[in-house]
A and B are shown apart, each in its own frame.
Chain A
Amino acid sequence: MMAYSEDDIALAAEYALGTLDADERARVETMMSADKDFTAMVQAWEYRLGVLNQMVGSVEPSPEVWDRIRAAAGLAGPQAPLVLPDPVLPPPPAASEAVAPAAAVADNSNVIRLSAQARRWRNIATVATAIAAALVVMIAVGAYQPDLLPDSLRPKPRSQVVEVKTPPAAAPSAQYVAVLQKDGGSPAFILTVDGATRNFTVRRVGAQPEPGKSYELWIVSDKLQRPRSLGVIGGGDFTARPVLSAYAPEVVNQATYAVTVEPEGGSPTGVATGPIVFTGKLIEAVPPKAPPPAPAKTR
C-alpha cells in the first residue's frame, strides 16, 4: 500500500467520501476490479469513514420493502424457514413404540435437513474464516463492546467443518458430531452429542495441552449473550458431561463449539481468556431412525 501515490490515495478516499462524479466512480471501480490492494485501500477508507453513520438517525422503510427484497433475492416466502430447523428429537425410549407416526415425520424432515446441508457445505469454506474471526471477537470482547470491533484482533484461527459419518449404530437417538480443528489440519477433538439426552462426550484425538495449561470448551451461539463454558476438556482421552442439557436443542445444534487455551483448571472468570485454537459445528451423524430415502428436492 505504500506504493500508491498521493493521487491514488486521494482518489480512493474521495470515492469513499462519495464526491467523485459518475465517470470517476466507474474508473475507480475498474481499478478495484484489477487491483486487490487498491480495493483494500478503498474499503479501508469506507470503513474508516463509515463510523460517521453512527450519528445518522434511523428511519423505518415501508413494510413492502421486505417483500420486494424477498422476491428479488429469490427467497421462499413467509413460510417456516428451510434452513437450520429445530432438531427433531427422538421420542424418549420408553415411548418409542407409541409414536411411530411422529418418527416418520422426523425422517422426512431429515431429508430436507440433510440435502439443505449438502447445499450449504459448498459455502462453508468461504464463511469459515469469517466465523473464526467472529469467534475471536466474541470471546475476546464478549457482548460488552460498543458498536465497533477492536482495532487489533488476535490471530485468527481458521475453522473448518468436516463431515464425519459414524457407522449407524443401533442406538435409537440421533447423534451429532463436531470435529474441532484448526486450519483444516488434523482433528484435535471430536465432540459427540446425544440428541435425546444432550449429554456430550469429547474425545481427544490429537491435541496435547501444554504443561500448566488446560483446554476449555465453549458453546458460542447468537442465541446466547456470550460464549458459555462447557468445562475443561482433554486432560484424559475422554470427557463426558451432561451440561448441554441446560441449553435448548436449537442452541445446541446450531452453536459453534470452540476450544481455548486457559490456565490450568480453566478460565478463572468464566470468560475465555486465551486464544481460540480449535472450532467446529455439529452435524447430524446418525439419524434418529432408519436411514432416510434418497434425497428429494428441498422444495
Chain B
Amino acid sequence: MLTPAELVWLIAAVAKGDEAAFERLYAATRAKLFGVVLRILRRQDLAEEVIQETYVKIWNSAGQFNPGLASPITWMASIARNRAIDVVRKRGEVSIEEEPSAMEVAADSPDPLARREMTEELKRLLECVGRLEPDRQKLVLLAYYNGWSREQLAAKFETPVNTVKTWLRRSMLDIRECLGL
C-alpha cells in the first residue's frame, strides 16, 4: 500500500488525465475497495461491477477530492461503498432468504488490527462505538460492514423494525456527541 501522501499525488495526477497514475492508483487500492464491496454484496460479479463503476467515477471526479476532508482511501472507499449500498437496496431485501449462509458469514468480525496499526481517528471512533450498549455496538458495525438494511438488522436481532430504527438513530447521535461534534 502506498502512503496517503502518495495516493493524494496519484489522485491529483488522475484529475489531470494521467492514465499511468490511474493505473497505479487502481493497483494500489483495488483489493481494499473490492474487500469492502464484496462484504456488502457477497457476490463476485456484482462486486466487480460496482468496482468498475467506482473507478470510472474516480477517474471522472478525481478533481473533487479534497485531501483536507478525507484520506484518499477513505474517499475512494466511500464512493465504492455508496454504490454497493445502492445496489443491495435496489435489489430488494431478499438476500438473507436467498443466502441462508449470509448470517453466518456476516458474523465474522472484520480483520482484527493490531492497535498500533490503527489510526487515531479509528481508535477514537471505536472508543465511541464502544460506549454504546453491546447490542447497539453490534448493530452499528453490522450495518456498516455488511451494509444491512433495518429489516435485515431487525431479523438478526429479532426485534421490530421500528425498534431498530430508534436504536440506529440514537446510536448515531450518541456517537456524534461522543466524538464532540
Contact = CB atoms under 8 A, between A and B. Distances in A.
A126 B73 contact: no
B22 A75 contact: yes
B172 A17 contact: yes
Contacts of A127: 12, 15-16, 63
Nearest to B8: A134
A22 B89 contact: yes
A50 B70 contact: yes
Contact of B18 (A69, A84, A131): A84
Given A10-B172, A60-B31, A134-B5, A69 B110 contact: no
Interface residues of A, number: 71
Give the most central of B9, B21, B35, B169: most A CB within 10 Å. Answer: B9
Contacts of B140: 17
Contacts of A83: 13, 16-21
A53 B8 contact: no
Give the most central of A16, A59, A84: most B CB within 10 Å. Answer: A59
Contacts of B105: none
A174 B30 CA distance: 39
A53 B112 contact: no
Give the most central of B12, B55, B112: most A CB within 10 Å. Answer: B12
Interface string B138-181: 00110111011110010000000000000011001101100100
Interface string B100-143: 00000000001111000111111001000000000000001101
A25 B86 contact: yes
B15 A65 contact: no
Interface in A116-142: 116, 119-120, 123-124, 126-127, 129-131, 133-134, 137-138, 141-142
Contacts of B13: 83-84, 222
Contacts of B40: 18
Contacts of A133: 66-68
A148 B6 CA distance: 12
A100 interface: no
Contacts of B60: 73
Interface string B40-56: 10001001100111011
Given A43-B69, A56-B39, A126-B63, A134 B12 contact: yes
A46 B69 CA distance: 10
B94 to A, nearest CB: 13
Contacts of A43: 69-70, 78
B56 A73 contact: yes
Interface of B: 3-6, 8-13, 15-23, 26, 30-32, 34-36, 38-40, 44, 47-48, 51-53, 55-56, 59-60, 63-71, 73-75, 77-78, 81-82, 85-86, 89-90, 110-113, 117-122, 125, 140-141, 143-145, 147-150, 153, 168-169, 172-173, 175-176, 179
Q: Nearest 9 CB-CB pairs, A to B?
A: A58-B31, A222-B9, A81-B20, A13-B172, A50-B74, A47-B70, A55-B110, A134-B8, A51-B122
